[in-house]
Amino acid sequence: MLYFIGLGLNKEQITAEALRALENSDKIYIENYTSNYTDNDLDIYEKKMKFKFHRIYRNESEQGFSEIIKEAKTKDIAFCVFGNITSATTHSSIINDARKAKVKLKMIPGISIFSVIPMLTGLEEYRFGRTISIVKPVENYSPSSFFDYILQNMQNGLHTICLLDIKIDKNSKYFMQPYEAAMRLQEIANEKDIETKNWKVYVVSGASSHKEHIALTNLRDLSKHKTKYDYPSALVITNKLTMDEEEFSKMLSRL
């Protein structure tokens, strides 16, 4: 049996169903490269619950998952991810590989950033368009196509969730800062000769943690607000707010 488990955004969000699966597992893996707990307290949870999480990183997951599937043919194996189980495309492909190998599979969902953001910002769930990821440019790799999806969402009267780049391996962690993302968006907008001064932006950092910070600002001000968060952040590029959304926004802090 292969349990595919979403751990939510903090250790208190792990469901009773997920706990039962972890208790029944012979071995527990955790994918440790697409996200992380903001409070970074998985070690404490391991000691408290007496679980041993075997951390795996991108190469081990995408290239070596066949070994985990082999184990699941004779043992009960848990493969855990932060948030929800299919929030990243990598996770969906792993599930498909397990099904093709005819491994018995049990999927257990978790609370994700996609369900938390509308709650924290007061933006209506049905008014979100395609989610995009903002990637830090590096030598020979500087994608910008995500910007077109923001424009498409705006044309359709929809808000855009922007997930910010995360790079985690055994020896280092990188979390794109909200101001870095704002600077990248402005850079692309300038290249395309698009005016962004009226873009309202929600900043969601450390969602569902003790460090949670939600603020409403604009792209230009955000680009000047330097931070050093060591946890995930996201932005929401808004379209015109409804009356209820506007009322809720008055209760949020400004940068």
pLDDT recorded at residue 172: 82
In whole angstroms, give the CA distance from residue 15 to residue 29: 17
The answer to whether residues 208 and 214 touch, using CB atoms and an 8 Å cutoff, is no
SS3 66: helix
CA terminus-to-terminus distance, the chain: 48
In whole angstroms, give the CA distance from residue 5 to residue 85: 6
Architecture of domain 113-254 in this structure: 2-Layer Sandwich (3.30)
Q: Is residue 122 pLDDT above 90, yes or no?
A: yes
4, 68, 84, 88, 104 from 78: Cα distances, Å: 6, 9, 14, 17, 12
Q: What is the dihedral of CA 135, 137, 143, 146, to 10 degrees?
A: 40
The answer to whether residues 104 and 1 touch, using CB atoms and an 8 Å cutoff, is yes
Q: Is residue 121 pLDDT above 80, yes or no?
A: yes
Average pLDDT, the chain: 90
The answer to whether residues 252 and 213 touch, using CB atoms and an 8 Å cutoff, is no
**Count of CB atoms situated within 10 Å of the CB of 50:** 7
Of the pLDDT bands very low, low, confident and very high (cuts 50, 70, 90), residue 42 is low
pLDDT recorded at residue 89: 64
SS3 156: coil
> What is the per-residue pLDDT across 176-219, written as a single tens digit (0 to 9) for each?
999 999 999 999 999 999 999 889 999 999 999 999 999 999 99
pLDDT recorded at residue 60: 62
Locate the domains of the chain by residue range. Answer: 2-108, 113-254
Of the pLDDT bands very low, low, confident and very high (cuts 50, 70, 90), residue 107 is very high
pLDDT recorded at residue 244: 97
In terms of average pLDDT, the best of 50-59, 82-91, 106-115 is: 106-115
20-24, 36-40, 159-163, 244-248: lowest mean pLDDT where?
A: 36-40
Strand runs labelled E in 49-159: 53-56, 77-81, 105-108, 132-134
What is the phi/psi pair of residue 31, to 5°? Answer: -75, 120
Strands 173-175 and 166-168: antiparallel
Q: How far is CA 67 from the centre of its chain?
A: 26
Q: Which CATH number fits domain 2-108: 3.40.720.10, 3.40.50.620, 3.40.140.10, 3.40.1010.10?
A: 3.40.1010.10
> What is the per-residue pLDDT across 61-92, written as a single tens digit (0 to 9) for each?
556 688 888 999 999 999 998 899 887 666 77
pLDDT recorded at residue 41: 59
Q: Quick one: average pLDDT of 138-150? A: 92
